Structure 1
Amino acid sequence: MAKVRFLALGRTWETEVPVGSTILAASKSVGAPEGDACRGVCACSTCHVYITKGRELLSEAEEDEEDILDKAFDVRASSRLGCQARIEKDGDIEAEISRESLDAFYNEHPDVKDPRKS
């Protein structure tokens, strides 16, 4: 099992998921606000996260993912698409949810209060 910690909005969500899971699946299992407009088929960048710990435990980014990230906002060396970053080894992973992903999540879930808005 891998322990995945999500950071966003001054909060932390933690979960344990089996090897083979994606970062997006891990976020859904714990209710972390990671967007997924395309439902995880690598057709958008709304599941954009920054891997701040445990990058070596994930699959390598493939060309399709890199192409989508080229269109994302605020891309960094640690950027990954949650739908494509597959956990390959047990260990601790930390992912910061990008502003782009947070915006998408709250747009996709209008019934969930966006804590960034009063």
Structure 2
Amino acid sequence: MPQIIVLPHHELCPEGIIINIQSGVSICDALLADDVEIEHACEMSSACTTCHVYLREGFDSVEESDEIEDDLLDKAWGLEPDSRLSCQTIMGNTDLVIEIPKYTINQVSENH
């Protein structure tokens, strides 16, 4: 079973976490299922960028982003070449190492 290794984030998971996940599940769903309360203001409908993550390892193992995701990512805080929306990134069979950015474009946390 592949894993998502989440690097430490000062608020959401200060120690980091390793999540076992089945292929075909979005990164966002996996994080939320393991109590990593990543923001997802649009309820994972690909309409915002609050679930933006960096894929530090395993980027080439997931499906490429589509045009809608690419357009949204252009608005994300701290965009990097390995940026993805976690709600749109579906887990394959390869482990991923992700980093959750320090900030989002959302001014107020939704606390989902």
Q: TM-score, normalised by structure 1?
A: 0.82
Unaligned runs of 5+ in 1: 111-118
1:28-77: per-residue Cα shift (whole Å, max 9, x none)?
Answer: 12112311000111000000000001112211111000010011111000
**Structure 2 residue aligned with 1:6:** 6
Matches within 5 A, 1:27-66: 27-66=31-70
Q: For 2:95 and 2:15, how far apart are their aligned partners in 1?
A: 17
After alignment, is 46-55 or 3-12 more displaced?
A: 3-12
Letter in 2 for 1:43: A
Query: For the Cα contact (< 8 Å) 1:58–1:86, is it kept in 2?
Result: yes
Aligned residue pair count: 107
Structure 1 vs Structure 2 CA RMSD: 1.8
Unaligned runs of 5+ in 2: none
Name the structure where strand makes up a greater proportion of residues: 1
Choose which of 69, 82, 94 in structure 1 pairs with 2:73.
69
Q: For 1:108 and 1:14, how far apart are their aligned partners in 2?
A: 24
Name the structure where helix makes up a greater proportion of residues: 1
After alignment, is 7-16 or 43-52 more displaced?
A: 7-16
What percent of counterpart residues are identical?
Answer: 30
Q: TM-score, normalised by structure 2?
A: 0.86
